[in-house]
Amino acid sequence: MAMAEIEVFGGGIFGLSVAYACLRRGVRTRLIEKRQIGAGASGGVVGALFPHTPDNWNDKKEFQFQSLIRGAEYWREVERLSGLASGYRAAGRLVALMDAREVALAQAREISAREHWQGLADWRVQKAGQYPGWEMASPTGFVVHDTLSALIAPAAACHALAGAIRALGGEIAEGETEGRGAAASVYCTGYEGLADLSSAFGAEVGKGIKGQALTLGLDAGEVPQIYGDGLLIIPHVDGTVAVGSTSEADWTAPDQTDDLLDALHERAIAACPALRGAPVLRRWAGIRPRGARRAPILGAWPGRDGVFVANGGFKIGFGVAIMAGEVMADLILNGAADIPDSFSVAANLA
């Protein structure tokens, strides 16, 4: 399929990464976004790029690792091509350990990380207090500090990727819904696309989960991210801190915030007192696409020749986007790719 034309539907992180990967292979590519770049969940404010725990290793964790470990080089090249900042930083992550069982489990994972992270990143148990004022309280006196975690500014990263696509000669059509016909079409259309898939197969392939988050005016400096008790506290490079996020299976207003976000804000202040008094700069809500197996959905659309799907990023979309783009380009252009079987549309129908 050398030099064939590809049409990618959806201007979120998956659509952008697929289009970018195809263009890097010299293929004429058009991206079609019915609203604007980063209009959906990819235009959020959190931007945490977290790995799963390094134990019980499987192909999904390997896929995620390969994507995360390439992040610095990938986003540096995107920024060079586009001239736009992505907000990427290899920030690391702190997780408070709440009891002796968690400490023992975290120490065992140090060994797993040395094996599976190939010496390219660390998972280590260390004494709390190395970042005064910037840690959740740890009853045990210990935290996990992993150096594989990174962060990114989601909306900025989407626009940087769009800029890189244009720099490589790709076409981006915003405010359009129809393609012009191409050798292959890739649908990266978020929770609405999952609804289309579910309708086509008469079974739930996935659904949209609402998330709410906020941005605070606080320059925390180059400290790690914080995770714990369902909270993400992300110190962005632009001198703000993002706090997220709720996870709502039942929702009626996709882009409206409410008292659930107020409660999240209060919990974040209680967990990290450094946030107290920081002004709220933005309140955000959006619908994230979650596959039935809570994993990305990558592959061919069953029964439709030349049609492909990249969806279901949910909470790890930005973290796996690099590999998602690469393997989808391999599949479209070469007919085969190293994609975990559980990522297929068919697997999500089971």
Orientation angle between helical segments 13-24 and 154-167, nearest 10 degrees: 30
Question: How does 27-55 read in b/e, with b if 16+ C-beta sit within 10 Å?
Answer: bbbbbbbbeebbbbbbbbbbbbbbbebbb
Does the structure show a pLDDT above 80 at 350? no
CA-CA-CA-CA dihedral for 215, 156, 31, 331, to nearest 10: -90
Mean pLDDT within 216-241: 96
d(CA 347, CA 267): 37
* Strand ranges in the chain using DSSP code E only, listed in sequence order: 6-9, 29-33, 48-49, 93-96, 123-127, 142-146, 150-151, 171-174, 184-187, 206-216, 225-228, 231-235, 241-244, 280-291, 297-300, 307-311
* pLDDT of 238 strictly over 70: yes
**Separation between Cα atoms, residue 124 and residue 145, nearest integer Å:** 5
Q: Is the pLDDT of residue 1 over 90?
A: no
pLDDT classification of 329: cutoffs 50, 70, 90: very high
Q: Whose CA is closest to 313, among 324, 305, 302, 303?
A: 324
Over residues 8-66, the pLDDT tens digits come to 999 999 999 999 999 999 999 999 999 999 999 999 999 999 999 999 999 999 999 99
Kindly state the tokens that stand for 122: 């660390």
DSSP code per residue over 195-260: HHHHHHHTS--EEEEEEEEEEE-----SPPEEEETTEEEEE-TTS-EEEE---BSS-S-TT---HH
Averaged pLDDT for residues 267-294: 96
> How confident is the model over 103-159, as pLDDT tens digits?
999 999 999 999 999 999 999 999 999 999 899 999 999 999 999 999 999 999 999
Helix (H) or strand (E) holding 89: none
Is the pTM here over 0.85, yes or no? yes
Q: Give the class (CATH, top level) of 6-92+149-206+292-349.
A: alpha beta
Q: What is the pLDDT of residues 285-328, one digit of tens each?
A: 999 999 999 999 999 999 999 999 999 999 999 999 999 999 99
163-170: average pLDDT? 97
Q: Is the pLDDT of residue 167 over 80?
A: yes
Amino acid, res. 303: G
> Looking at per-residue confidence, does 135 or 73 come out higher?
73
**Whole-number pLDDT of residue 229:** 86
Tokens representing 271?
A: 């967990």
